[in-house]
Amino acid sequence: MNDRQGVPTSRTKPSWFKKAMRWYDNSKLFPTTLLIPVLVFFIVWNVVPTLWMVGLGFYNYSLITGAPEKFIGIKNFLDIAKDDTIWHNFGRTFLWVILTTGIETILGVLLGFLFWGSSKLPGRRLALTMLFTPMLLAPASTGTFFRLIYDPIFGVLNYILTLFGVTPIDFIGNRVWAFFAVMVVDIWMWTPFMILIALAALGSVPKAELEAAEIDRLPWHKRLIYIVLPYGKFILMLGVLLRTIDSFKTMDLIYLMTQGGPGNTTELIAIGLWRKAFEGFTMGWSSALALLLLFTAIAFTSVYLFVLNQNKKQSEGG
């Protein structure tokens, strides 16, 4: 692609500057220059801190005692392995990721299909903006407000329940309900994102093929399998990937609603780590756990990208 010998370099008089530019453009330097900024960011803000964290994971270092850090080998990691709370947090996080992402994807796809033919909807732009609003709100606000909505005395939800003769439930103070109460808020917030993704995925299906199917009177399930799915699934998979990532990281929303409580029934791994690091200030131990999370993230991402690439190859091949 870089071979352009024989092409006149310039129509006007070639000055030394133009020659230099031309040489630069054709050399390996050009693609490298474009990458310098991203590499600087990557090294300063990712590689250096990560190495720092790896190092700290082997030390006993607390911000409270102020004592100099002490090398303790892999003791932090052994402590984590023995800590039941951590493993419960991990389990709860995976349950959370699967349930929220799953429900949001299903709802998003269903509603996406419903909104697919909405091009003639009066005020479509406004309607879609309203639909997308939940994800535009600061999680700090949303978390706070849902505390009020769920409140046993002042909350709207409990008021509605009492109309049906149900005794008020303290949703976020109750060990059984808290997890689901928080989950409902997450679903309300992020289903719109999956609707957006579903609309984009459906938009990527070529209209000509759909029209041909219309003329051939292909039944809807066949249209779905042979036309919509092969084209749409790549974008849908990307959407699910992004949602999984963000769901794994959920933090502000839950922290502001329940702080991980009651007990630690809503304590996802991110919140547990936050409590240890910035309420307990045990930096060495927290770094070790953060490192484990980094590996989990890398593992997650590799599996997803593998699936994604398979999908991409299939849709390009087909």
Partner 1 sequence: MGKKISQALYHALLWLIAVIFFLPVFWIILASFKTKDQLLDVPIHWFFEPTLANYVDLFQRPNIANYLLNSVLISVLAVVIAIVVAFLAAYSFSRFKPGGTDLVMFLLLSVRMVPAAASVIPIFLMYSTLGWKDTMPGMILFYAMFSIPFSLWILKGFVDGVSERFDETGLINGASRFHVVFNVILPQVRPGLIAAFIFNMVFVWNEFLFNYLIGGKHTTMVPVALVTWMFNNSGVDWTFVATMTTVYMIPPILVVYFFQKFLLAGMTFGTVRGEI
Q: What is the SS3 assignment for 196? A: helix
Helix residue spans in 8-138 (DSSP H) = 16-26, 29-42, 48-56, 75-82, 84-116, 124-132
* Short-list 210, 250, 247, 212, CA closest to 230: 210
Shortest Cβ distance from residue 190 to partner 1 (Å)? 11
Shortest Cβ distance from residue 98 to partner 1 (Å)? 16
CA distance 199 to 49: 38
Question: Binding segment for partner 1 among 169-177, 216-224, 258-266, 282-290 (CB under 8 A)?
Answer: 282-290
Shortest Cβ distance from residue 235 to partner 1 (Å)? 6
CA distance 63 to 99: 37
The nearer residue to partner 1, 53 or 218, going by C-beta atoms, is: 53
From candidates 15, 65, 85, 302, binder to partner 1 by CB under 8 A: 302
Taking residues 80 to 109 in sequence order and writing x for each that binds partner 1 by CB under 8 A, - otherwise, the string is ------------------------------
The nearer residue to partner 1, 174 or 301, going by C-beta atoms, is: 301
From candidates 100, 192, 243, 267, binder to partner 1 by CB under 8 A: 192
307 binds partner 1 (CB under 8 A): no
* Short-list 205, 203, 197, CA closest to 243: 197
200 binds partner 1 (CB under 8 A): yes
60: which strand partners?
Answer: 70
From candidates 166, 297, 303, 307, binder to partner 1 by CB under 8 A: 297
Cβ proximity of 134 and 104 under 8 Å: no
